Structure 1
Amino acid sequence: MEPLNIVGNRVIRVDGRAKVKGEALYPQDIYLEGMLYGKTLRSEKPHAYIQVEIEEGEKTPGVVKILTAKDVTGQNHHGVLFKDHEVLCSERVRRIGDPIAFVIATSEKAACEGLAKIKVRYTELPAVFDPVEAIAKDAPKIHGESNIIYHYRCRKGNVEEGFKNCHVIVEREYKTSMVDHAFLQPEAGVAYWDQEGNIVVCAATQYPHFDQLEVAEALGLPKEKVKIINPAVGGAFGGREDITLQIHLALGAYLTGKAVKAVYSREESFYAHAKRHPIIMRYKTGASKEGKLLAMEATLIGDTGAYASWAVNVMRKAGVHATGPYEIPNVKIDSYAVYTNNPFCGAMRGFGATQVPIASEQQMDILAQALGMDPVRFRLFNCFRVGSETANGQILHESVPLERCIEAVGQRLFHGLR
């Protein structure tokens, strides 16, 4: 086998030198002659019908244009899986922070002054913030006729019979919280017309190809007439997979004929992008007197907030990983993604697989304690090995070093303590 050029060697990052020297170009660093500045007016209510009056804002010195839903030249929607976001809310807001208007002015100061003069009349609607309550048939509906976006089911063996044979059964409820990515660089970008008549958007993003499609659809342009340029990215971790300011900037440049720039504050960044899904996890796990796992039943309820983003993928992954890395012959898992009026949730490192170990691993500790077994040995007794079958029927044919890993961690953590 020929020596590998990359694997096993120290490789100089192509962007390393520029970042170390402070020369890397981030979206906030981009300045174009004669460019305008944009500011977003966001909802102050979690659920309401709206009427927007922009006349006073338009009279503000320096304000060039105020965009509302009626100014969207293509489709007034976007979303990575479901088109449930509006570019600018037309009649209804579904969370605090929903974009209502985009003010374009000759300076940031003028944009802020114009924004402050816009009047929004809210007719508040009943809201729901608990995903369990949101499942109820009489709960306020966020989109359509049901707040349940997705239901993943996993069935293996017979859980009822499995629990009958258990010596110990542990039932608990666990909850994880909503988490923000808090990347170092808040959202920023600039859009402009290039010399070939294309709309160009410069913004830090994880999916420039998706952004191109969504910008083109919102503007009503062929995909080939939209270019997305990805400057240096100041952190993402999944938080830049959804549209935030890209379409607003593109629409502003498209309608004014000038470059338009926007920079979010840290506070606005919190409102604008997705969060990690908080999940309510109800677990019932049983084992034999000898310490063999026999049955597990779990219900996972994931709060995706006002918009779906990657909820289907996240809650499917949570369901797939709900058993942890353990052999369990009888399994029943139901994993739900649910709309509420909370901030919307989407991708964040681990994508659903990071939440469920909070529950599954605590179940292992409680079971081991109830059986009087060492928790490390209990895990070794039940962990995946080559040839194991997961709850959803996958056979693990190779690369399953879990037993070796648990032993090494156990020795390092507990050596000399027992």
Structure 2
Amino acid sequence: MKLDIVGKNITRTDAYSKVTGKALYPEDIYMDNMVYGKTLRSKLPHAYIDIDISEAEKIDGIIKIFTYKDVPNNSHGVVFKDHEVLCEKKVRRIGDPIAFIVGETEEVCKLALEKIKVDYEELEGVFDPEIAMDEKAPKVHEDSNIMYHYKIRRGDIEEGFKNSYVIAENTYKTHMVEHAFLQPEAGVSFIDEEGRITVMVATQYPHYDREEVASALNLNEDEVRIINANVGGAFGGREDISFQIHLALAAYILKRPVKVVYSREESFIAHAKRHPMIMKCKTGADKEGRLLAMKAEIIGDTGAYASWAPNVLRKAGVHITGPYYIPNVVVDSYAVYTNNPFAGAMRGFGATQVPIAHEQQMDILAEKLSIDPISIRMINIFKKDSVTATGQVLKESVPLEACIKEVAAKMEFHPRKEGAK
């Protein structure tokens, strides 16, 4: 079969415009009769709020200040609808959106930001996910802070550890990570020639954006149009709604094009981060280095909102055993609400954090057994027809053995022959 694309050097259709600077990004868009928007955000991580916009509304050039009262359906979220479009009674993190200001210029919107009065009744916050799991901890939302729990149970874990010659037991932690894409969020919304609310934005999920905008405004999806402009980096950070609903609401009500451009500082507090994780691992092996058992607890801090937490913590639970056959496995993986910045999609979806744990466990076991780190991996790696901890039989695409051999050859690595202590 002749292929037109696969295996050939094809020039990207957008390459020339990007390298010459001609590509149009949302920040570059200008429309006649366009106005500008700015978001008032919470300065506290956990508080009841009362907002007074009366003074800000008097500023010359301010067209309208939107609050929760203006939102037909004041909720959104990619998996769980636990975000408010504009917070009504309570903020749950620094940066929560409280009001959306629309004015003739960006400068007048900035003035209005200073004139809006927000009375905060500060609440006790919870910032450690382990503490947040306690029933007595402050509740970020109304129910338990444990918003997701994924389990794996395979074999007999007690028997596995009983038969282990060496055991490694440690706790590993990874931190929150910012996407730091080059292009901060920007977008323009307007009513198109067919009467549809149109949002031009750099996004990773235009179909989800349309669904969420339509839901928040109580419209049919065919009344909403999302145009995906050039994307100046994303890495998962553009999978959640940022200002799309704010823009669409303003354009819908005002019948004028509305533009938003985030500063780098606002971008930093507006979008999701990579999940920080606490990983408690106990791994056992026999005298020859064969893995016999692994018990793991993963606690993922999803911050104030769920975002993609169930997907991320499920994948973390699946991958915590690494690319190794282990006959006896117990995994408990939790996503936990805190008053920290919310966490969501970032490249790897939970599979990125856990190698820090399972690979250090392998090195520790190798050292205890006086086996070199490559040999202990070759003993345990998945091969064709291996069975994972979730029961999946690997029938194809299992290149680990060839990969490790190639790396070892390039390193001129020679395995030790003395075996275990």
Please classify the TM superposition score into its range, dividing by the shorter chain length. over 0.9
Aligned counterparts of 1:397 and 1:89: Cα–Cα separation in 2: 50
Tell me what 2:284 maps to.
286
2:22 aligned with 1:23: yes
Q: 106, 111, 114: which one pairs with 1:113?
A: 111
Aligned counterparts of 2:10 and 2:33: Cα–Cα separation in 1: 41
Aligned counterparts of 1:150 and 1:296: Cα–Cα separation in 2: 21
The code of the aligned residue for 2:61 comes to: G
Q: CA deviation at 1:144?
A: 2.4
Aligned counterparts of 2:325 and 2:193: Cα–Cα separation in 1: 61
Q: CA deviation at 1:220?
A: 1.6
The code of the aligned residue for 1:44 comes to: K
Aligned counterparts of 2:287 and 2:312: Cα–Cα separation in 1: 35
Distance verdict in 2 for CA 1:416–1:163, change over 3 Å: closer
Q: CA deviation at 1:196?
A: 1.6
Distance verdict in 2 for CA 1:170–1:416, change over 3 Å: closer
Flag structure 1 segments of 5+ consecutive residues without an equivalent. Answer: none
1:105-126 CA-to-partner distances (Å, cap 9, x unmatched) read: 0000000001110000000111
Q: CA deviation at 1:417?
A: 11
Aligned residues: 416
Distance verdict in 2 for CA 1:60–1:3, change over 3 Å: same
Equivalent pair of 2:170/2:281 in contact (CA under 8 Å): yes
Aligned counterparts of 1:361 and 1:410: Cα–Cα separation in 2: 17
Aligned counterparts of 2:242 and 2:340: Cα–Cα separation in 1: 17
Q: CA deviation at 1:394?
A: 0.2
Q: 314, 318, 321: which one pairs with 1:320?
A: 318
Flag structure 2 segments of 5+ consecutive residues without an equivalent. Answer: 417-421
1:1-58 CA-to-partner distances (Å, cap 9, x unmatched) read: x232211111111111111111111000000011000000000000000000001110
Tell me what 1:253 maps to.
251
1:251-307 CA-to-partner distances (Å, cap 9, x unmatched) read: 111111111000000110011100000000000001001111000000000000000
Tell me what 2:177 maps to.
179
Tell me what 2:419 maps to.
none
Mapping for residues 220-299 of structure 1, pairs under 5 Å: 220-299=218-297
Tell me what 1:67 maps to.
66
Q: CA deviation at 1:414?
A: 4.8
The code of the aligned residue for 2:234 comes to: A
2:394 aligned with 1:396: yes
Tell me what 1:86 maps to.
84
Aligned counterparts of 1:414 and 1:255: Cα–Cα separation in 2: 68
Aligned counterparts of 2:143 and 2:91: Cα–Cα separation in 1: 17
Aligned counterparts of 2:133 and 2:290: Cα–Cα separation in 1: 35
Q: CA deviation at 1:406?
A: 1.1
Specify the SS of the correspondent of 1:60: coil
Tell me what 2:128 maps to.
130
Tell me what 1:36 maps to.
35
Aligned counterparts of 1:409 and 1:144: Cα–Cα separation in 2: 51
Aligned counterparts of 1:288 and 1:417: Cα–Cα separation in 2: 19
Specify the SS of the correspondent of 1:113: helix
Q: 148, 162, 165: which one pairs with 2:163?
A: 165
Aligned counterparts of 2:316 and 2:107: Cα–Cα separation in 1: 45
Aligned counterparts of 2:412 and 2:326: Cα–Cα separation in 1: 26
Tell me what 1:206 maps to.
204
Specify the SS of the correspondent of 1:37: strand
Aligned counterparts of 1:171 and 1:198: Cα–Cα separation in 2: 58
The code of the aligned residue for 2:120 comes to: Y
Aligned counterparts of 1:121 and 1:235: Cα–Cα separation in 2: 37
Q: CA deviation at 1:411?
A: 2.3
Specify the SS of the correspondent of 1:280: strand
Q: CA deviation at 1:198?
A: 1.0
Equivalent pair of 2:372/2:415 in contact (CA under 8 Å): no
Runs of 4+ in 1 over 4 A off after TM superposition: none
Q: What root-mean-square deviation, in Å, do the aligned CA atoms of Structure 1 and Structure 2 show?
A: 1.1
Tell me what 2:141 maps to.
143
Equivalent pair of 2:374/2:415 in contact (CA under 8 Å): no
Aligned counterparts of 1:98 and 1:368: Cα–Cα separation in 2: 47
Specify the SS of the correspondent of 1:392: coil
Mapping for residues 343-354 of structure 1, pairs under 5 Å: 343-354=341-352
Aligned counterparts of 1:116 and 1:62: Cα–Cα separation in 2: 15
